Every structure is written in structure tokens, then in C-alpha cells.
Chains A and B, each alone.
Chain A
Amino acid sequence: MNDAAIVIIDYGAGNLRSVANAITKLGYQAKVTSNTDDVLNAAAVILPGVGAAGDTMDSLEKLGMSKVIRQLIYEKRPLFAVCVGLQILFSGTEEQGWHECMGVIPGIVRRLPSGLKIPHMGWNQVKQMVTHPLFDGIPNETNFYFVHSYYANPDDISVTAGTTNYGIPICSVVIKDNLIATQFHPEKSGKYGLKMYSNYLKAALGER
């Protein structure tokens, strides 16, 4: 059996093609899969995200994938979660009522405050709160592409590696051990988005 080093989790939603195209552009090959063994055997895992958090949780549960994701995080293995992928790592979300999420990062996902246009859609700056290989070659305050109506609020602010202002400061990058999660979409954020994936993959695959 030939295990793929890089896998993109397919849970029937999300912008899988965009993420796969970005990885291909970087010169890697990624396997798009909904098989839990593929994910457990991979060196680098990407959890894409588009759509509602509750549906995403349901889909991951059905595939047995939420257990696998918990295991990856528990074992401190490389995982990159995007947008809704970030949100479902938290304790729960207020989207469409209350939905219990994975609870890997303590904190609540809330609706963006009214007064500004919702969704928060477009390019906004990410302020880097830590020095980390993820940000190698990426200037502080670089613009990334956001599209979301809910935002995650970690109880422990030490996991917040990047913040973005949209009326209020939003936690836009989470880093905890080898878990990376972004509220924005690197695959839609031009050359610096690609650079971010490249930094992640290099570290995950042990390249230097």
C-alpha cells in the first residue's frame, strides 16, 4: 500500500479542488480522501472548510473523522484546518442555534457583531502575534482572503498566533503544537497564501 504523504480530508463539502490546486501548484501531490486510514497514515493533513459548522461536524462524525482528527491533535501530528475547519475545533458554535463542536480548543464560536457587513468578505490584514515558521517569508500585516459570519474566541489566548480587525479583533490564526488553523482561506490568498501552505508542508514533511 502506497500511503499519500499529504491528504486533504473530503467530507462532502468544502472547496477541495481549490486546496488541491494550491498544493499541486507548490509541486506536491495531495490525496483527497474520506478514508480514516489514509488520514492516520499521512504526514500532513489538511482539513478544508466551507459552509455551516453544524453540517461540517455531522459529516465528520458520520465518516468517523472527528475521532481521527482528535487523535492527530492529541498525538501532536501536523494538521492544517481552514475556516470552518478552525471553528469546529472549538467547544461549540452559536451558528444555527447551538452546536457542540470538537472541544480541542476551549472557547466559543460567535456571530460577528452587527453594524458591519456580514459575511466578513474580502482581504484583511493578519497581525502576527508570534514568531513561527508558518510566517516565514510573509510580512506582518499581509492581507489574506476571509469569508465568514462567525468567529472563534479562544479561552486561552496563547493559542492565538494571528489576529485580524473587523469591528472587533478576531483570532485569525491558531497554532497549538503542530496544529495550525486559519480563519481565512490560504488557497484563495494569492502568493502569500501559497507560501503559508508551503511553510506548513515543509515543516510537516521534515524538509529544510
Chain B
Amino acid sequence: MLTKRIIPCLDVTQGRVVKGLSFTHLSDAGDPVELAAFYYREGADELVFLDIGATPEGRDLMTDVVKHVSEQVFIPLAVGGGLRSISDMRHTLEAGADKITINTAAVLTPELISQGAQKFGSQCIVVAIDAKRINSENKPEWEVCTHGGRKPTGIDAIEWARRVVTLGAGELLLTSWNADGQRAGYDLELTRAISEAVSVPVIASGGAGNLEHLYEALTIGKADAALAASIFHYRIYSICQAKNYLAERGIPVRR
């Protein structure tokens, strides 16, 4: 049986790991290569690196980080943040990434998804969707945001999810703008709505504060993988603890 994946996320800027609170308050800590190796030894199923600075110098530093990580970490590596072109993607994949994640660039240039999928295969193309809850009368709705959550686009998140899959995305990394950094749980309604709308795997992100939250995302939210940063980064829980907790509750995990 396919296991559910637990994915620590490393937010990186200028080659250093940071953790954001609602994308804005940052506290610097950690060498990404060491942290990645630590998570690998602990049993992480995959790693996501997001360059939240997304400056040209930061991107070069990120390429070095990916090179070093891929020499000692033998699980899938997804890398994103500021990738705007096929050549950016190629550069990142050649450094040792297995998947690239695109967000703002996908909204601005949706053809990037199809071109990337054609060149490198759908399995390489993860579209990151930052979704913000909007007030509506009956059912919940979410709007896609770009630029690290700062720019609302007016695009419906569920429609966007369907569209990017049609264009060739092999996986979605779904972050709730409202829940991110709050440690009060994932937006389960959003996660479930997107997961049911598409045929590709969905990684739930934003809001993990305890292990019950991971469980909820993988069951109620129907996510295929749960991503978390601060609960692992600050060692509130280890990856092992998370997996033991999930296994005891009947979730198939790799141990």
C-alpha cells in the first residue's frame, strides 16, 4: 500500500534556513545542508526547499545548497522559490533536485507548466498554490495569492488546481495563507476540496502545530502528504514521533 508522506519544509533565504510566521516574521536559524541530513536520518520521506528571498544571488546559493544536499541525502528533493523560466528549472534539476515547485511564475505564465512538463516530465513539476479564504455567502471559497501570499489574483483556487493539472502539473503543494504559521491546524476544507478536485497527489501545507493536525490533513483533508516546518524545525516533534503517532492511528507510513 502506498504510504502517506511526511515532508519537512526548509524555508531558505541567502543560503540559510528561516521559518516564517504568516510569511512575514522571520527568525534566522540553521544550515540547510545539515538540517536536511538530519531530517533524512530521522526518516523524512521527502524534502522541500523554498527560497523565500528569491533574489538572483539567493538562487545561486540555493543551487549550491541543493548540490551539497543531493550528495548525502537519498530521498526526493523538491526545490522552489523564484524559478521563472525553463532554464531556471533545468539549472535546479541539474544541481540535484528531483522536482521543482513553481508558484507566482505559474500564475503569470501558465505555459511554463506545460513546457516544464514536456521537457522534464510531469513528475518534476509541482505547482505550489497559496490559497486565501474569501468571504462568501454559502460555501467556502479560496483565492490564489502570489508573491509569497502578498498579491491576491482573483483566481479561484479549485479552478486553478484543475487547470494546472490539465497543463501538466504532477503534484500540488497547497498552502493555506490563513493557516500558515499559526500552528492551529491545516485548512481541512480547502485541502479536501482540492484533493477531491484533482487526480494528482496533493501535499497539504500551512498550519501544522501538533501531530493530530498531520493526521487530520491525511484523513479529513484527504491529502497524500503533509508538509510541516516549525514543528520539526524547532524539534517540538521528531519525524519518528510523527510517524509513530500516525501508524498507531492506522495511517500507512514508512518507518
Contacts and interface: CB of A to CB of B under 8 A. Distances in A.
A193 B254 CA distance: 14
A123 B3 contact: yes
B75 interface: yes
Interface stretch (B106-114, B119-127, B132-140): B119-127
Given A51-B120, A143-B254, A187-B74, A118 B3 contact: no
Given A117-B199, A118-B199, A143-B254, A21 B121 contact: no
B224 A117 contact: yes
A189 interface: yes
Contacts of A191: 74
A124 B201 contact: no
B224 A50 contact: no
Contact of B201 (A24, A121, A125, A165): A121
Interface-central residue, A50, A122, A145, by most chain B CB under 10 Å: A122
A208 interface: no
A143 B252 CA distance: 11
Interface string A1-44: 00000000000000101100110110000000000000000000
Nearest to B222: A117
Given A21-B70, A122-B3, A188 B75 contact: yes
A207 to B, nearest CB: 21
A62 to B, nearest CB: 17
A194 interface: yes
Interface residues of B, number: 31
Contacts of A121: 123, 170-171, 201, 224
B62 to A, nearest CB: 16
Contacts of A114: 199
B201 A117 contact: yes
Interface string B241-254: 00000000000001
A50 B76 CA distance: 13
A50 B123 contact: yes
Contacts of B120: 50-51
A187 B4 CA distance: 20
B224 A188 contact: no
A18 B98 contact: yes
Contact of A122 (B40, B95, B224): B224
B121 A50 contact: yes
Nearest to B44: A190
A52 interface: yes
A147 B120 CA distance: 13
A119 B74 contact: no
A120 interface: yes
Contact of A145 (B70, B75, B124): B75
Given A51-B120, A52-B121, A122 B5 contact: yes
Interface string B40-81: 100001000000000000000000000000111011100000
A25 B74 contact: yes
A124 B201 CA distance: 14
Contacts of B75: 145, 188-190
Interface of A: 15, 17-18, 21-22, 24-25, 50-52, 114, 116-125, 143, 145-149, 165-166, 187-191, 193-194
Given A51-B120, A119-B123, A149-B122, 13 more contacts: A17-B70, A17-B94, A18-B74, A21-B74, A51-B121, A119-B170, A119-B171, A123-B3, A143-B3, A145-B75, A147-B76, A187-B74, A188-B76
23 contacts: A15-B93, A17-B94, A18-B98, A50-B124, A51-B120, A116-B2, A117-B200, A118-B199, A119-B122, A119-B123, A119-B171, A120-B2, A122-B45, A123-B3, A125-B1, A147-B76, A147-B123, A149-B122, A188-B74, A188-B75, A190-B75, A191-B74, A193-B74
Interface of B: 1-5, 40, 45, 70-72, 74-76, 93-96, 98, 120-124, 170-171, 199-201, 224-225, 254
